[in-house]
Homo-oligomer: A and B are copies of this chain.
Amino acid sequence: MSNYDQLTSHYQTIHHFNHAESMLGWDAAANMPSGGSNARSKAMAELSVHIHRLSTQPQLEEWFGNAEKEPLSTEQKASLREMKRKWQQATVVPEDLVQAQSIASSKCEHAWRTQRQENDWVGFEKNWKEVVTLSREEAKIRGEALGLTPYDAMLDKFEPGTTTASLDTLFSDVKTWLPELIEKVLVKQQSDSIIMPSGTFSTASQKALGLEVMKLLKFDFDRGRLDQSVHPFCGGVPSDVRITTRYDEKNFVQALMGIVHETGHARYEQGLPSAFAGLPVGEARSMGVHESQSLFFEMQIGRCKPFISHLSRLSADAFNAHKDPVFAEENLYKIYTQVKKGFIRVDADELTYPAHVIVRYEIERDLINGVIEHTDVPAIWDEKMKASLGISTKDNYKNGCMQDIHWTGGSFGYFPSYTLGAMYAAQYKATMTQTVDIDAAIQSGDLSPIFQWLSDNIWSQASLHTTDELIKRATGETLNAVHFRKHLEGRYL
């Protein structure tokens, strides 16, 4: 057996344990009764220790060394590159640091759940200090190994190839036009009259509606399910994708679009090439590319008029409310494109969302690079929110820098993925329009030509190429934020 084949078999073994971990995680969120959590945490910790051990096994170094000298096809070379990436990611950080981070994040995150509600920055800051210190240490070690700045090394975990230099360029461009665009749109929407849903929308009816919409979006129910959890997510494995949502019986709007979003993630997973199943090269390219699929579904398909027309019909059917003006196409469209300045990222609309991301990006970049200290964060947050959205978060930590879970667990470098995803999605749309009559496909109820494009250009490509190559092959150019701007102006102005 060649060393390349040995590596292939080894990474497939790791994948089987990842499969177990993923399903146990889904189960913990979707099914598990409270009393099961202690035993489950221990089982999952054991799995994760075992996966780490397999990922850092000493003989891997020799196998990689030899495999690089073996005659390999282009695809095999890509597979080797991605296995090596996983291996480097796993081995570069010393085990005692990983351990210390795991303890510090658990402690910080656990306390944060109550501290946030109580707006307790002082309490939070004590735990968070340790998380930041250890993340900086991690970033330094990763940076030295990869020849990157500390923050770029953190970005590389989620968005391989993306750098501070490129994000600074992208985001400073957005900052030149976004605030003004938001203001214009707010003025334009001022006179809109919107009828908001009222009454009770049973979970059962909402779920039935969600399943109908998933059918329209060609979710493969032989290889996946829809369930409920407190925090919606897409989990499982490509041949068995588990998406979840959360229902509010007073309002169906958010859960419905949430299902469209998660279906985007799911179809990417379901569309990954089975030839590379269980191998790093067969996985989704990056968090940003993953988000580009969920946001293509949610923003490019989900919020366009012909799709809203389907939602209007299907939701009126589901709630047996054909005469209710809430469900009229025009009204639903207004609901789904309403722009509002607010404190909370996860509640933000398409237009103000990038502002929330840029605030976080600039802060975490400077925090990880040691330009600012963690105690500076609340004041800088307040200042940046005032500058970008004109709202102050002074003394309002719970709706300010304490609102997200990411930083409590040390996930620095993740936030940019959201806006990168939105930008990629707009760029795909611009290219797709040249060969696919998108609106006509949506109107007809057969969205296959759209999905065929995504499958050919993104899903089937998995991690065969770098992100830049992937985007260039799909759209003829690397990331270009002008498509995103045009999309927003087109929809909102």
Contact = CB atoms under 8 A, between A and B. Distances in A.
Contacts of A16: 42-43, 45-47
A229 B236 CA distance: 20
Given A16-B43, A27-B27, A46-B17, A35 B223 contact: yes
Contacts of A240: 32-33, 35-36, 39-40
A38 interface: yes
Contacts of A34: 222
A21 to B, nearest CB: 8
Contact of A35 (B13, B43, B46, B239): B239
A374 interface: no
A259 interface: no
A23 interface: yes
A220 interface: yes
Contact of A24 (B23, B222, B277): B23
Interface in A208-241: 220-225, 236-240
A222 B27 contact: no
Nearest to A238: B39
Contacts of A345: none
Chain A interface size band reads 35 or more
Interface in A41-66: 42-43, 45-47, 50
A202 B131 CA distance: 52
A237 B39 contact: yes
A39 B239 contact: yes
A237 B39 CA distance: 8
Contacts of A220: 35
Interface string A416-435: 00000000000000000000
A117 interface: no
Given A13-B46, A27-B27, A46-B13, A19 B40 contact: yes
B33 A27 contact: no
A200 interface: no
A145 interface: no
B277 A35 contact: no
A20 interface: yes
A23 B42 CA distance: 14
Nearest to A26: B27
A36 B221 contact: no
Contacts of A375: none
Contacts of A42: 16, 19, 278
A254 interface: no
B19 A23 contact: no
A31 interface: yes
A109 B220 CA distance: 29
A33 B222 contact: yes
B43 A20 contact: yes
Nearest to A30: B31
Nearest to A18: B43
A63 to B, nearest CB: 19
Interface hub of A16, A47, A223 (most chain B Cβ within 10 A)? A16
Contacts of A31: 225
B36 A239 contact: yes
Contacts of A17: 43, 46-47
A172 to B, nearest CB: 44
A197 to B, nearest CB: 26
B19 A43 contact: yes
Contacts of A35: 220, 222-224, 239-240
B277 A39 contact: yes
Nearest to A239: B39
27 contacts: A16-B42, A16-B45, A16-B46, A19-B42, A19-B43, A20-B24, A20-B43, A23-B23, A23-B27, A33-B221, A33-B223, A33-B225, A33-B240, A35-B220, A35-B224, A35-B239, A36-B223, A36-B236, A36-B240, A38-B239, A39-B237, A39-B239, A39-B240, A39-B277, A39-B278, A40-B240, A50-B50
> 6 closest pairs, A vs B, by CB?
A36-B240, A35-B223, A16-B46, A19-B43, A35-B222, A16-B43
Given A16-B45, A35-B223, A36-B236, 4 more contacts: A19-B40, A36-B237, A39-B237, A39-B238
